[in-house]
Amino acid sequence: MLLAEDLSYLTCTGGQAKLLNDKNPHGFVSLNQVLQERARTHSDVLLAGFPERKAREHDPASNGSDWEVEEFTFASFLQASNAVAAELVRAGTLRARQVQDGLQTRIVALLSPSCAEFLVFTFAAIRLGYGVLLIAPQNSAEAIRHLCLSTKCAHLFCHSVYMQLGINAFPDAQDDTMSGNLNVQAICIPPRAIWETFSPDLPILDPVLSPSEEKDAIALVFHTSGSTGMPKPIYHTHSVWTQGLPCLPGDAAFTTTPLYHGGLPDFLRGMMSLTPLYLYPSLHPVTASNVVSAVAACPDVCAFLSVPYILKMLSESDAGMSMLQSMRLVSTGGAPLPEETGDEMVKKGIRLVSRLGSSECGFLMSSARDYVTDKSWSWLRDYSHSLGLLRFVPAGETGSYELIVDKTFSTLTTSNRPDGSFATGDLYAKHPTIPHAWRYAGRADDIIVMTNGKKTSASVIENSLRASPIISEALVFGTSRPALGVLILTADANITREHVLAVIHAVNSRSPSYAHIVDEMGIILPSDATFPKASKGTLLRPLAYQQYAEIIEQAYQALESGGVADPHLSHPSGEALVSYVRNVVQSAIPECVSLWADDDDLLVLGVTSVTAIGIRSKLQKELLQLVDRPLPSNFVYENPSVKRLVRTIESIRRGEDAKPSDDVFEVMRDLVAKYGAFNEALHPQQPVSSAERVIVLSGATGALGAHILARFLSDGHSEVVLLVRAKDDVEAEQRVMRSLERRGLGSVTSRPEWAKVKCLAVRLGDSNLGLAPDVYDTLTGSVTNIVHAAWDVNFVANFDSFAPVHLAGLRGLIDLAIASRRRASLVFCSSTAAVVNDYTGQQPIPESLPQSENSPSSLGYSRSKWVAEHICARAHSGPLNGRISLARIGQLCGDTQHGIWNEAEAWPLLIASMKYTGCLPSLDEHPSWFPVDAAAKVICDIVRVPNELGTVAPIPVYHVLNSNMETSWADILQHLAASGLNFATVSPQQWLSQLEDALLKEDDARTRAMLELWHTTYADETKKPKSQPVYDTYAAASVSKTMKDPSPISADLVGKFLDSWRKTGFLPPARADGVARK
């Protein structure tokens, strides 16, 4: 909680400033007005100071150098800037704004280090009626030229140290490409002597415009970093830096941030609040000793403002740490400070605050708080949330939210959305308990999407790596690849690879498994290597990827091929081969797993999709010298034990196919036998009224499970226990709440019914579901219904890899139903994929148990559902007779209220492909999309079906899908066009060809991953389309009204899909005419 009296000019955001200024307007609207008025009323109050190192060769006490502070009071600063303005006019370099100029925009550019001359010149130009383009000196000559031409500058004023750079930008002082014969001259800024020796009698040049006229004139021009091309100018009016700021008292502050970045905004905050700011000149090297000495030379400094790399440097110095500990406030901004570094600083008593702002928006949020009781320095607070100026929009399926700044935000200077708001591209995580608190989670363009569809933030991993003192810089890569990699710059040339890998392993331990970096993909660059960076010091990611593209490609080639074969390997066989494979596998198994056998399932032991790639790479290296054939990419998934890996390797050496070493149908039957052996239940039946129902639900973090939960809660007669894969119950609830919010169901968590929800962290494959004995016993005594909707939709894994977690988890829930003292029933959510091959084109696929192992598709996912159905059937024939049923789910789509449909699924990706191709394929299909909320209602109806104890009938099977297939794909194309989607309709082959060409230039791993499936389905124009399966729905219709007469896919529903995708940026905005092109 932040009290009003704790609010400081340094932490007062634009939203808070609006609240204050609306209540007590200060009346300032122009920078010239502020300076002139402050100089009149507070002439001797200190405004700014620049500590400067002076050589003192003849003073032994100074050790050869010392620091002096060049100070400005309000009066002396007005006089100094006025003197420079007068000199510019006298020399004929610039002319003061005249009445006839009106509000005409006049810009001059400034290329200078952050120093006293910079600040004085800026206000001199402003006094003459110019806006000042503040160019960061780290820009190239080409970028400087671009900025000057795009802002129509007539003059480029340069500090002497950057004069040559300015000349290089305009070697001919002429350019004909953008603004006619625009003559841009590089001119030295007036020397310091002008304002150090001016006459006190020099009259003050009064601006020709009144403050009210000047408020809308351009005062400052900042620019973007140019990370995706040339930097772009960002124009700021006088009113942005007057009406958008508060007049608040505060402590004298010291900043290392240059004036051409955040230094000038902090100076303006201090000017408004009559509080001095000391600025470290960028002419001096930034070292810990220099910064500490400079701070010591400045009196009464109580706040230190800096950027992450300087704070990290100071925190590693005893003198620097002591200085930071002495401050009332230490601010970080400009880039993310590594979490580990910040946490360590807070532990050592530093009152650390994070400030978020940008040139486009101004000051947005800070982590200002009660520093004694609240240590959450990295969680930014929206203290002006009541105004609705900041909006956080779910960013697809990432679990993060993109920050959108409303058009009414007082310091917003640009927009990039039709409604005038600004999408920042910054992603944030929501704090689970602190209201309106958000933590930076990366940039939308930092998100890496791998070929398996998993997403991770490159910047989060990079920041964790940079927190180590041995790593100076890191660049994570992996877009459209099977695994992540990282390029490392070490802090010292003597640091070994083993030391770097130890840091990578530590970061892996805190990251989800799919975001792990295997040893082979940790690439240490030469000591003289560098990464391209913006003037703020932030990484220019696209340029860095381009610079190191060859090294990245070589890393993946080595990972794929196994690299150069080890000449010392003896190509072992027999027990030696087993030992070799065992050692390779051991390196991929988590350290916490100490005992395991050669026939144990590697996926159960903790081998992930990423570490499986590493295992395959190492085994490939062993095979390279003997077999001129690569191992299948799915090699470890298809052979998930040491025994099976060895057996398959030996088969390959004999020239046999690298196929799964066991008969797939035999394994399917074995798994049914393994998990389908039951003992009779012993518990007597107790009557259950609907008011006493306790429902156990798995899968609430998925789309179907979330809607089932919402449906149960809307009924209001049930307690719901949610089983969630999580480390503890708190995280379990957080995951569920995020899932509900992503799907437009977040409001249910604020209703009274939410009190009936209990979230439990489980491990479905473990005994008693991984629950503590007392918790499990409580469940067995209360549960009346179980709905199992959790299953990994993994189309890569071998089917028996589903056994240790999913099949074992199903068995665990069946055991819970058997042990329940209230005779609980169980509904298992299966898939139509389990029976898709049963369609002959004659009769609909029946609502009954599939008998043939050929019934499912060849995917491991489909076969695992077939096995699961047979396990359930055995339970129905035994202890759960009349108490278990199958809900076989078809193709689900977005819900009927919000149209939210998972953007990673095939149909949404196909529709969204038009943004690359401008076209969509004409397909001879009648999609059977079923809204997910309708499916949830059907599931709830099935749950209400009374138990039929003692029945001899087969296990009940219900098809939950849209049997109304009257809407053709051609109809859907018309619906898409009517909703404003702009595309041409072409043949499937032409669409595929255009999409393949487009994806060569686009970073879209999810769409690229679908190409193989689409090729198989649509590429051959001579191939007769396969008949769409038709499913019988009589049983489902008999228990659910929703299934009796399902609605066709309507234009309204399709429009809701598009609206949802447009909100997330998955699709472009609607166009007006709503007519498809042919």
pLDDT of residue 892: 95
Amino acid, single-letter form, for residue 1016: T
Residue 796 has pLDDT above 80, yes or no: no
* Lowest-confidence pick of 52-61, 384-393, 575-584, 1016-1025: 52-61
pLDDT 10s digits, 1019-1072: 777 666 667 899 999 999 999 999 998 999 999 999 999 999 998 888 877 654
pLDDT of residue 953: 84
pLDDT of residue 672: 93
What CA–CA distance (Å, rounded) separates 1007 from 688? 49
State whether residue 791 is helix, strand or coil.
coil
According to CATH, the topology of domain 574-661 is 1.10.1200
pLDDT 10s digits, 456-477: 778 888 988 988 989 999 999 9
**Whole-Å CA distances, 550 to 64, 527, 545:** 49, 18, 9
Q: In angstroms, what is the C-alpha Rg of the chain?
A: 34
For the CA atoms of 678, 680, 685, 691, what is the dihedral angle to 10 degrees?
0
pLDDT of residue 789: 95
What CA–CA distance (Å, rounded) separates 707 from 713? 10
pLDDT of residue 508: 84
State whether residue 69 is helix, strand or coil.
strand
The answer to whether the CB of 19 falls within 8 A of the CB of 389 is no
pLDDT of residue 645: 86
State whether residue 154 is helix, strand or coil.
coil
State whether residue 545 is helix, strand or coil.
helix
pLDDT of residue 798: 66
By the 10 Å C-beta count (0-12 exposed, 13-18 middle, 19+ buried), 856 is classed as: buried
Q: Where are the beta strands (DSSP E) in 41-181?
A: 46-55, 65-73, 107-111, 131-135, 155-158
What CA–CA distance (Å, rounded) separates 883 from 950? 10
pLDDT of residue 3: 46
pLDDT of residue 922: 94
Query: Region 727-733: what's the mean pLDDT?
Result: 91
What CA–CA distance (Å, rounded) separates 134 from 159? 12
Look-up of token digits 């490392």: 488
Residue 687 has pLDDT above 70, yes or no: no
For the CA atoms of 821, 823, 825, 826, what is the dihedral angle to 10 degrees?
40
* Lowest-confidence pick of 255-264, 633-642, 711-720, 835-844: 633-642
Residue 608 has pLDDT above 80, yes or no: no
What CA–CA distance (Å, rounded) separates 714 from 712? 5
| DSSP conformational letter for 1042 | H
30: tokens are 């122009």
**Which band of pLDDT confidence, cut at 50, 70 and 90, is reported for residue 774?**
very high
pLDDT 10s digits, 385-404: 889 999 998 776 556 788 99
* 954 or 841, higher pLDDT: 954
**Whole-Å CA distances, 69 to 168, 299, 880:** 33, 10, 84
Strands 46-55 and 65-73: antiparallel
Percent of the chain with pLDDT over 90: 53
Check if 450-561 and 574-661 are the same fold. no
The strands making up 785-788's β-sheet, listed across from edge to edge, are 757-762, 718-725, 693-698, 785-788, 825-831, 884-889, 957-960
* 766 or 759, higher pLDDT: 759
Query: Region 629-646: what's the mean pLDDT?
Result: 78
Angle between helices 31-41 and 264-272 (to 10 degrees): 50
pTM above the 0.75 mark? Answer: no
Q: Residues with Cβ < 8 Å from 728, sequence gap 6 or more?
A: 761
Percent of the chain with pLDDT over 70: 89
CA geometry: angle 252, 256, 259, nearest 5 deg: 90
* Lowest-confidence pick of 58-72, 246-260, 607-621, 754-768: 58-72
Q: What is the 3-state secondary structure (H, E, C) of 207-239?
A: CCCCHHHHCCCEEEEEECCCCCCCCCEEEEECH
Half-sphere exposure of 872 (CA within 13 A, CB side): 32
Residue 660 has pLDDT above 80, yes or no: no
pLDDT 10s digits, 170-219: 887 544 444 444 568 889 999 999 988 877 778 888 888 899 999 999 99
The answer to whether the CB of 781 falls within 8 A of the CB of 821 is yes
**Which band of pLDDT confidence, cut at 50, 70 and 90, is reported for residue 498?**
very high
pLDDT 10s digits, 339-369: 888 999 999 999 999 999 988 999 999 999 9
**Which band of pLDDT confidence, cut at 50, 70 and 90, is reported for residue 1077?**
very low
Residue 996 has pLDDT above 70, yes or no: yes
The answer to whether the CB of 264 falls within 8 A of the CB of 121 is no
What CA–CA distance (Å, rounded) separates 687 from 689? 7
According to CATH, the topology of domain 450-561 is GMP Synthetase; Chain A, domain 3 (3.30.300)
For the chain, helix, strand, coil in percent to 5 are: 40, 15, 40
Q: Return the H-helix or E-strand segment holding 272.
A: helix 264-272
What CA–CA distance (Å, rounded) separates 394 from 429? 10
pLDDT of residue 627: 53
The answer to whether the CB of 72 falls within 8 A of the CB of 84 is no
| DSSP conformational letter for 814 | H
Look-up of token digits 């009796």: 1044
By the 10 Å C-beta count (0-12 exposed, 13-18 middle, 19+ buried), 181 is classed as: exposed
The answer to whether the CB of 965 falls within 8 A of the CB of 1028 is yes
Q: Residues with Cβ < 8 Å from 197, sequence gap 6 or more?
A: none
* Lowest-confidence pick of 341-345, 612-616, 656-660: 656-660
What CA–CA distance (Å, rounded) separates 61 from 49? 24
pLDDT 10s digits, 23-45: 999 999 999 999 999 999 999 99
The answer to whether the CB of 631 falls within 8 A of the CB of 621 is no
**Which band of pLDDT confidence, cut at 50, 70 and 90, is reported for residue 946?**
confident
* Lowest-confidence pick of 125-139, 520-534, 591-605, 720-734: 591-605
The answer to whether the CB of 190 falls within 8 A of the CB of 155 is no
Q: DSSP letters of 494-513?
A: T--HHHHHHHHHHHHHTS-G
Q: Where are the beta strands (DSSP E) in 307-454?
A: 329-332, 352-358, 362-366, 379-381, 390-394, 401-405, 422-430, 437-443, 447-449
Query: Region 695-723: what's the mean pLDDT?
Result: 92
Cβ count near 210 (within 10 Å) = 11
pLDDT 10s digits, 281-334: 988 888 899 999 999 999 999 999 998 889 988 998 899 999 999 999 999 988
According to CATH, the topology of domain 70-242 is Rossmann fold (3.40.50)
What CA–CA distance (Å, rounded) separates 634 from 603? 13
Q: Residues with Cβ < 8 Å from 533, sequence gap 6 or more?
A: 138, 539, 540
What CA–CA distance (Å, rounded) separates 249 from 426? 31
Q: What is the mean pLDDT of the chain?
A: 86
Domain residue ranges of the chain, discontinuous segments joined by +: 70-242, 450-561, 574-661
What CA–CA distance (Å, rounded) separates 344 from 670? 53
CA geometry: angle 954, 1027, 1045, nearest 5 deg: 60
Among 844, 1011, 815, which Cα is nearest to 913's?
Answer: 1011
